């Protein structure tokens, strides 16, 4: 059974990637939205005084962009499954519901990380040019990005599954998703800020934030795992 | 097989109820269907036909009551039961951005089918779509989608096949192909078909069920059915409107 679950899991992730490479719907919409957000930030912050240091708010700006961007993709990922009843066909097959859940989480995580990989260099170019950065601590940014994205993809996949069957799915997802992201944001922003600021004092803050995010990921993924079967059968 | 010993009945439904909020889409439905039977389910819109099929195919959990398919309980044995059932719906249940072959290979992986390429090629040939196997299904006509949907439903050689208005929107050629495919496997399988077409449903069935307001109005074997009385009952039932 374990090997069948593995086959099913790989097939579902592969299917999502093949379909996305073909349509580019999620990557295009998320990528464009994220880049436009960076441009809006840039224009808005260009009016600030000369004493303003973008590093003070860089982490918050980045995570806000990722949270809002992810909602676009999460909705799309489940709409694909709802098209022509594909989700029903998937649920009809002898696959454990958690396998479906984790396959969708991995698919969403891959697309979110791809968009983040595109956005972060643009953000650095627009806001951090000329700032003195600690390369060693900046190297930790991908680590917290990955940990935070796991939480976004996990909680978001569960909530998108819930909201896709509702008539106001574009409204329901943000209303449920954003409050649940609050604890994640606390840890992720604090750890990212520490990594961007750098220095020996910041490292303690980074690892505390990182531990907070990993704890959030574990708790929320376990809760989502437990709830997924109930939600798809409700 | 199942939590209890299998029986000769393919379906055993006992006091099955499914509520959506305060509304009961199914309200105490009970019937037994023998193996290799063909059950046609009739009823007005909102009678609970699709909900019945969704519960029997494990897509929805019942609110109360029990249902067994081939001895498998639809709740406690759901994962194992899905190896033995197939669904052909008026929706194609296919990914529009995958090719015909990719769709079938994907579902073959879901069912853990050995030598999936061989089985997929066999079914594409049976539904006369082997020449379009590399085309995205979003380019397919309604009839072609339905034929591919039949191939998807038969991939794992299910013993019980559910058909939810399978003839809906089909052209005559596609209807002939569907008829042929059903006829080819008719004797070895149990069928449950939702239909609004009385003539087609009665022509195919060994048993008929009329649902209204989530309740069983009539359940009889075909040989016991007086067609004129049945039609009158159906017309009166349709007059009841939605549940």
The mean pLDDT value for A98-104 works out to 91
* Domain extent for A63: 2-233
Burial track B103-140 (b if 16+ CB lie within 10 A, e otherwise): bbbbbbbbbbbeebeebbeebbebbebbebbeebbeeb
Q: What pTM does this model have?
A: 0.86
pLDDT band, very low/low/confident/very high, at A234 (cuts 50, 70, 90): low
Determine the pLDDT at residue A77. 81
Q: Which residues pair with B18 in a beta bridge?
A: B26
Cβ–Cβ gap A86/B93 under 8 Å: yes
Determine the pLDDT at residue A2. 54
Alpha-carbon dihedral B97, B101, B104, B105, rounded to 10 degrees: -100
Which pair of tokens denotes residue A49? 């005084």
Determine the pLDDT at residue B240. 57
Strand positions, DSSP E, chain A: none
Q: What is the pLDDT of residues A41-82, one digit of tens each?
A: 888 888 777 677 777 888 999 999 999 999 888 888 887 787
Q: What is the pLDDT of residues A196-219, one digit of tens each?
A: 887 777 788 899 999 999 999 999
Distance from C-alpha of B48 to C-alpha of B240, rounded to nearest angstrom? 13
Q: Is B11 helix (H, G, I), strand (E, B) or coil?
A: strand
* Whole-number average pLDDT of chain A: 87
Q: Is B73 helix (H, G, I), strand (E, B) or coil?
A: strand
Distance from C-alpha of A38 to C-alpha of B127, rounded to nearest angstrom? 51
Which ranges of chain B have pLDDT less than 70? 1-7, 239-243
Cβ–Cβ gap B91/A88 under 8 Å: yes
Which pair of tokens denotes residue A13? 């992730």
Domains of chain B: 9-98+140-238 (3.40.50.300)
Determine the pLDDT at residue B29. 95
Chain A residues inside the 8 Å CB shell of B61? 233-234
Q: Which residues pair with A63 in a beta bridge?
A: none
Which of A:91-150 have CB within 8 Å of B? 91-96
* pLDDT reading at A109 higher than 50: yes
Determine the pLDDT at residue A233. 66
Residue found under tokens 């796991």: A150
Determine the pLDDT at residue B84. 95
Q: For residue A160, which phi and psi values (nearest 5 degrees)?
A: -65, -35
What's the DSSP call for residue B88?
E
**Which of B67, B37, B34 minimizes the C-alpha distance to B53?**
B67
Residue found under tokens 């679950």: A5
Cβ–Cβ gap B59/A92 under 8 Å: yes
Determine the pLDDT at residue A153. 95
What's the DSSP call for residue B135?
S
Cβ–Cβ gap A84/B61 under 8 Å: no
Q: What is the pLDDT of residues A162-181, one digit of tens each?
A: 887 777 767 888 899 999 99
Distance from C-alpha of B156 to C-alpha of B34, rounded to nearest angstrom? 22
Percent with pLDDT over 90 in chain B:
61
Work out the minimum CA distance from A132 to partner chain B, whole angstroms: 47
Cβ–Cβ gap A4/B93 under 8 Å: no
Q: What is the CA radius of gyration of chain B?
A: 18
Length of chain A: 234
Number of domains in chain A: 1
Cβ–Cβ gap A8/B102 under 8 Å: no
Chain A residues inside the 8 Å CB shell of B100? none
A78 touching chain B per CB within 8 A? no
């Amino acid at each position: 059974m374990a090997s069948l679950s593995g086959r099913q899991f790989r097939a579902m992730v592969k299917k999502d990637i093949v379909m996305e490479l073909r349509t580019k719907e999620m990557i295009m919409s998320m990528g464009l939205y994220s880049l436009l957000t960076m441009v809006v930030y840039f224009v808005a912050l260009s009016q600030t005084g000369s004493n303003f240091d973008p590093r003070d708010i860089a982490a918050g700006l980045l995570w806000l962009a990722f949270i809002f961007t992810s909602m676009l993709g999460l909705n799309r990922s489940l709409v694909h499954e709802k098209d022509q009843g594909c989700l029903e066909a998937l649920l009809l097959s002898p696959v454990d519901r958690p396998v479906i859940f984790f396959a969708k989480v991995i698919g969403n995580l891959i697309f979110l990380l791809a968009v983040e990989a595109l956005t972060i260099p643009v953000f650095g170019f627009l806001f951090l040019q000329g700032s003195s950065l600690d390369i060693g601590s900046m190297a930790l940014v991908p680590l917290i990005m990955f940990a935070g994205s796991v939480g976004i993809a996990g909680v978001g996949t569960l909530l998108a599954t819930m909201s896709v069957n509702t008539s106001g799915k574009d409204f329901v997802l943000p209303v449920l998703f954003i409050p649940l992201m609050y604890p994640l944001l606390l840890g992720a922003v604090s750890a990212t800020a520490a990594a961007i600021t750098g220095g020996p004092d910041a490292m303690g803050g980074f690892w505390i934030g990182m531990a907070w995010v990993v704890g959030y990921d574990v708790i929320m993924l376990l809760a989502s795992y437990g709830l997924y079967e109930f939600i798809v059968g409700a | 097989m199942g939590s209890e010993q299998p029986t000769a009945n393919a379906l055993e439904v006992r006091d099955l109820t499914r509520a959506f909020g305060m509304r009961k889409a199914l309200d105490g439905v009970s019937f037994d269907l023998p193996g290799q039977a063909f059950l046609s389910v009739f009823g007005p819109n909102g009678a609970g036909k699709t909900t019945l099929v969704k519960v029997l195919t494990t897509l929805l959990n019942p609110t109360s009551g029990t249902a067994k398919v081939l001895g498998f309980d639809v709740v406690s044995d759901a994962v194992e039961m899905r190896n033995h059932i197939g669904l052909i719906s008026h929706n194609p249940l296919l990914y529009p951005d995958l090719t015909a072959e990719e769709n079938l290979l994907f579902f073959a992986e879901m069912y853990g089918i050995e030598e999936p390429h061989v089985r997929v090629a066999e079914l594409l040939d049976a539904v006369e779509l082997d020449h379009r196997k590399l085309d995205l299904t979003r380019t397919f006509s309604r009839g072609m989608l339905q034929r591919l949907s039949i191939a998807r439903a038969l991939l794992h050689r299910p013993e019980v096949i559910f058909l939810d208005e399978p003839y809906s929107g089909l052209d005559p050629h596609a209807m002939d192909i569907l008829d042929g495919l059903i006829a080819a496997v008719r004797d070895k399988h149990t069928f449950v078909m939702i239909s609004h077409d009385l003539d087609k449903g009665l022509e195919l069935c060994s048993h008929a069920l009329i649902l209204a307001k989530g309740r069983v109005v009539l359940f009889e074997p075909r040989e016991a059915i007086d067609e004129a009385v049945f039609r009158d009952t159906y017309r009166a039932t349709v007059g009841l409107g939605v549940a």
